[in-house]
């Protein structure tokens, strides 16, 4: 006995063309949807990458600007220190000249007193002359030390002025919120 197919048994012919067309259409739609989803995903990824690149670029620009500001600030600090050093050196030189002039004057007075004492005729005259010399020396020493103190204070203020200005600028610049 021979095996017969269902079509042969029923005598009806099977036409599979609509089913194939439906399957082909469904497959095509699936592929199109997949391609569309991939394109959409690629567009979103590209947009995300561009956004990230823009943020990285902005961050780098801010970092470079901040670095440039720090370099400029450091350079300003160095200049202020150099200026303060120059003021201090010139001031110390002036103070040294003042001390030397005072010492020279005191030496000349001492020599004049010594010469005068060598020509005194009595012990009382020598004691009076020595007392006068001591009184004058103490008065001059007090006056000169006051001048030296004032000059030192003024020098300190002048020396610190450039540094104080930099500190004030730093407080103004870096204390404000970003």
Kindly report, residue by residue over 42-94, the tens digit of the pLDDT.
888 898 899 999 999 999 999 999 899 889 988 999 999 999 999 999 999 99
Alpha-carbon distance values, 32 to 35, 38, 39, 44, 46 (Å):
5, 10, 10, 18, 21
**Which distant-in-sequence residues (6+ apart) come within 8 Å of 103 by Cβ?**
none
Average pLDDT of the chain to the nearest whole number: 86
Three-state SS at 120? coil
Return the pLDDT at 113.
87
The percent of residues in the chain predicted with pLDDT above 70, rounded, is: 85
Locus of tokens 């003042």 = 98
Look at 36 and 162; give whichever has higher pLDDT: 162
Alpha-carbon distance values, 18 to 5, 24, 26, 31, 124 (Å):
21, 10, 12, 20, 150
Residue 3, pLDDT > 70, answer no
Distance CA 82, CA 88 (A): 10
Return the pLDDT at 22.
67
Fill in the DSSP letter of residue 176: S
Return the pLDDT at 157.
96
Question: For 117-140, what is each residue's pLDDT tens digit?
Answer: 888 888 998 899 899 999 998 999
């Amino acid at each position: 006995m021979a095996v017969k197919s269902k079509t042969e048994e029923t005598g009806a012919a099977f036409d599979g063309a609509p089913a194939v067309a439906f399957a082909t259409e469904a497959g095509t739609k699936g592929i199109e949807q997949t391609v569309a989803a991939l394109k959409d995903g690629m567009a979103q990824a590209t947009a995300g990458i561009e956004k990230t690149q823009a943020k990285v670029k902005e961050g780098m620009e801010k970092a470079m600007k901040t670095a440039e500001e720090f370099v400029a600030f450091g350079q300003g600090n160095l200049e202020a220190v150099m200026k303060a050093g120059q003021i201090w050196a010139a001031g110390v030189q002036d103070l040294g000249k003042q001390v030397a002039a005072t010492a020279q004057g005191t030496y000349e007075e001492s020599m004049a007193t010594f010469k005068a004492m060598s020509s005194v005729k009595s012990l009382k005259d020598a004691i009076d002359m020595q007392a006068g010399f001591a009184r004058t020396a103490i008065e001059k020493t007090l006056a000169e030390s006051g001048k030296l103190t004032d000059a030192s204070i003024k020098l300190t203020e002048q020396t610190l002025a450039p540094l104080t200005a930099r500190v004030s600028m730093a407080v103004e610049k870096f204390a404000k919120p970003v």
